[in-house]
Amino acid sequence: MAVSQLVGAKIHRREDPRLITGHGHYIDDFTRQGAAYVAFVRSPHAHARIKSIDITDASKAPGVAGVYTARDFKGQLAGTHPAAPAFVAEKKYIPERFPIAEKEVCYQGEIVAAVLADTKGQAADGANLIQVDYEELPAVMDLEKALKDGGPKVHDGAADNVSWDLTFTGPDVTDAAFKEADVVVKQRILQNRLAPVPMEPRGVLAEYETYDKKLTIWMSSQSPHFIRLFVSGAMGLKESQVRVISPDVGGGFGSKISPYPEDYLVPALSRLAERPVKWIETRTESIQNATHGRGQYYDVEVAAKTDGTLLGLRVTQFLDVGAYCGTFSAFQACACLMAGGAYKWKGISARTIGILTNRVPTDPYRGAGRPEATHLVERMVDLVAGELKMDPVEIRRKNFIQPQDFPFTQNFGLVVDSGDYEKALDVAVKLAGYDDLRKKQADLRKQGKYLGIGLSTWIELCGFGPSAATAPATGGIALVESAQVRVTPTGSVIVYTGTHSHGQGHETTFSQLAADQLGVPYESIELRHGDTSEGTAFGYGTYGSRSLAVGGVAISKAVGKVIDKGKKLAAHMLEAAEEDVVYEHGSFHVKGSPDKAKAFGEVAFASYGMSLPEGMEQGLEAVAYFDPPNLVWPFGTHIAVVEVDAETGSAKLEKYIAVDDCGNIINPMIVDGQIHGGIAQAIGQALYEEVVYDEDTGQLKTGTMIDYMVPSAGEIPPMSLDHTVTPSPTNDLGVKGIGEAGTIAASAAVINAICDALSPLGIKHVDMPATPDRLWHMMKGTSK
């Protein structure tokens, strides 16, 4: 019998029957007796002074229970919105942020008033009756202009618009490389601003119990414990008085990590009004207010030799912070640290500048910094290849970090734990039929057709993270992970994890893991998460492809502790020495005599009885924390094949090949699903999606799903997926994260394919989204 039956098996997702048939539990499925609804009045201006707010009509409107403005929250909420001091910068300006504006609004959508009413409709009607007198101020929209001295400021009276300006490594680090260079290639690369668009928008239901002084918050969050930490602090409550329940979460993509103004205001309203209060974000509110992703540009230079050897890389990141610093906004500067990609460089110079604008804040969005890094380095490598007339496959092969180099200390001192980049490339090239594609391309070119083949050989750092690296970055709390395993008297098992699923299928994967290790049926494992009153004292949530590589390992450790105790007890029951007891297939037996055995269930039952060994306490449960020694480093090669319509400029994806390596695989179907979704999301960025604001007024132009173009299934090409397996040496499971891989890899593959297609026209670089209009303008030689 195989040791491992469940790990590695394509088990159908346990959560799917419930979710697919509409039996999931999302925030709008919850209500409380006597709940009031809140509608927020939001600034229509990107930047304005609030002269006065007239609430007279709204207060008298039918069903309205109360109208609240900034003043009302003064004694209720303390402090400013948290911003993690990641990458402590040479200059740092974090504008103060109260959850509701009092004197000045700094982005369109910022909250200025809240209307509480008996029904949703009455709240919305009431909100419409509030009259706010604004004095418009100039909106800062353009990053370059924002950096100029003497121009308008995002926050009236501020010294400048720079949130941070940090040089990781100065230009001197690459001087030698650039001196030695035969060719130097320069490019400015844009990263379009994206809206996260989770299928379930945000929502908060809060009930403050006046007499018990207890607060329960139901909300759609990727990190309920952090919400408890922040909200309790702001409300002057102990963490123990607050319970945050985040049930099924309909997608997050990073936008449900950080606390939002509503996360404070709704609980505060419940305490003020002494009744439960509910708020469900509308789609337009979501596109307008959920933190955006990307929104950057990069100035990049590469030095190389004529034989294709890469020498030096210079990167400056210009990041649109928005009007306030997102909690993990500065994390996106990791794009600089990852800019070298899968290659060896003599030197990399990197600087990041975080620039405030009158837009909604940006914060991590699936991949957060790593898609940007991949996009820029993969683009630059292709530009060098084009300059040298080299095949994109060859230039990559030539410069890869080699298998024998691992663990590899890269230019910024990060230690890449493992990799075999060429192996994944080889599999992808074969799967794509690369040589045939090149022949086909040549034939089609003769017919005036533009077929392009684009590569992206990506690497990623994920699995946050080691305490030494993460505690300073968050301001004290190490992003390790916890788990608790409880065995009931009848031998059923409840596993609590501090991570939280917003679509990743943890209930399935983690149950597979625990069931295998315990040797009990998969069905005996119940996986719980998302409720701060259950399980361990603190959980760290899900983001940065960390759940399995950190949380899964914590589960495995806790299971190990349960087995250890079980062994002691079994030895006692079997009258054998503990060292002689082995645990296999759900049964404890004496080494060499499989008949002398106690089943897991028997031991569990006995653990609650009276015949325990000397000094042993009742019960069979354990808590474990896992502090990973390093990050994990997945990688792979993606290949996109695109045809650009010669007349319309429309880019059509013909096929897509992805070969990824996330170490050992627990559930191949879930891994593939994560990759499919990630690729689709990156195709969105490459071809369709962009949050557009009016450059003068700061008005959002893409506030509905008609204008903010998320691709549908119809736009996603057939995908061929394969894997190589290079187990991670960083954790006992040998696993690496895969939740963001598709998003990290795919935009570069798609854009490289388009540039490859259009290279006969002399087009070298295309910015995202590569819309037909943009490509048509470029193809006829007028820029766009």
Which residues in this chain contact other proteins in the complex, by CB under 8 A? 120-121, 124-125, 128, 282, 284, 647-648, 650, 688, 692, 701-702, 704, 706-707, 709, 711-715, 771-773, 776-777, 784
Smallest separation (angstroms) from other proteins to the CB of 120 = 6
Backbone φ and ψ for 371, nearest 5 degrees, come out as -65, -40
657 touches 626 (CB < 8 A): no
Smallest separation (angstroms) from other proteins to the CB of 361 = 23
How far is Cα 407 from Cα 338, in angstroms, rounded to an integer?
Answer: 16
CB-wise, 126 or 491, nearer to other proteins?
A: 126
Smallest separation (angstroms) from other proteins to the CB of 129 = 11
Strand pairing category for 310-322 and 347-356: parallel
- CA 257, 261, 266 angle in degrees (round to 5)? 105
Q: Which residue, among 87, 633, 170, 626, has the nearest Cα to 414 in the 3D structure?
A: 633
Backbone φ and ψ for 360, nearest 5 degrees, come out as -65, 145
Smallest separation (angstroms) from other proteins to the CB of 427 = 32
Smallest separation (angstroms) from other proteins to the CB of 450 = 15
Smallest separation (angstroms) from other proteins to the CB of 753 = 18
CB-wise, 1 or 706, nearer to other proteins?
A: 706
CB-wise, 201 or 224, nearer to other proteins?
A: 201
DSSP label of 633: -
Smallest separation (angstroms) from other proteins to the CB of 700 = 11
110 touches 43 (CB < 8 A): yes
Query: What one-letter code names the amino acid at 482?
Result: S
Alpha helices in 519-633 (DSSP H): 553-574, 600-607
Q: Is the dihedral of CA 599, 601, 603, 605 positive or negative?
A: negative
How far is Cα 385 from Cα 135, in angstroms, rounded to an integer?
Answer: 53
Q: Locate tokens 């087995």: which residue?
A: 563
CB-wise, 239 or 645, nearer to other proteins?
A: 645
How far is Cα 507 from Cα 505, in angstroms, rounded to an integer?
Answer: 5
Smallest separation (angstroms) from other proteins to the CB of 646 = 10
CB-wise, 284 or 488, nearer to other proteins?
A: 284
- CA 110, 115, 119 angle in degrees (round to 5)? 125
How far is Cα 684 from Cα 682, in angstroms, rounded to an integer?
Answer: 5
Is the bond preceding residue 407 a cis peptide, omega within 30 degrees? yes
Smallest separation (angstroms) from other proteins to the CB of 37 = 10
Burial 308-343 (b: 16+ CB within 10 A, else e): bbbbbbbbbbbbbbbbbbbbbbbbbbbbbbbbbbbb
556 touches 517 (CB < 8 A): yes
Concatenating the DSSP letter of every residue in 451-516 gives EEEEEEEEE--BS---HHHHHHHHTS----EEEEEEE-TTS-EEEEESS--SSS-HHHHHHHHHHH
Smallest separation (angstroms) from other proteins to the CB of 140 = 22
Smallest separation (angstroms) from other proteins to the CB of 746 = 18
Smallest separation (angstroms) from other proteins to the CB of 202 = 15
How far is Cα 558 from Cα 334, in angstroms, rounded to an integer?
Answer: 32
Cα 420 versus chain centre, distance:
25
CB-wise, 41 or 606, nearer to other proteins?
A: 41
Smallest separation (angstroms) from other proteins to the CB of 1 = 48
CB-wise, 405 or 707, nearer to other proteins?
A: 707
Q: Which residue, among 629, 497, 478, has the nearest Cα to 556 in the 3D structure?
A: 497
Q: No. of H helices and E strands in the chain?
A: 20, 28
Q: Which residue, among 584, 541, 168, 98, has the nearest Cα to 369 in the 3D structure?
A: 168
CB-wise, 201 or 293, nearer to other proteins?
A: 201
Element (H, E) at 776: helix 772-779
CB-wise, 62 or 594, nearer to other proteins?
A: 62
CB-wise, 244 or 266, nearer to other proteins?
A: 266
DSSP label of 550: I
Q: Is the dihedral of CA 146, 379, 449, 643 positive or negative?
A: negative
CB-wise, 132 or 333, nearer to other proteins?
A: 132
CB-wise, 25 or 774, nearer to other proteins?
A: 774
Concatenating the DSSP letter of every residue in 372-403 gives HHHHHHHHHHHHHHHHHT--HHHHHHHHBPPG
Smallest separation (angstroms) from other proteins to the CB of 51 = 25
CB-wise, 227 or 700, nearer to other proteins?
A: 700
CB-wise, 526 or 645, nearer to other proteins?
A: 645
CB-wise, 626 or 693, nearer to other proteins?
A: 693
CB-wise, 56 or 704, nearer to other proteins?
A: 704
Smallest separation (angstroms) from other proteins to the CB of 642 = 15
Smallest separation (angstroms) from other proteins to the CB of 649 = 8
DSSP label of 727: -
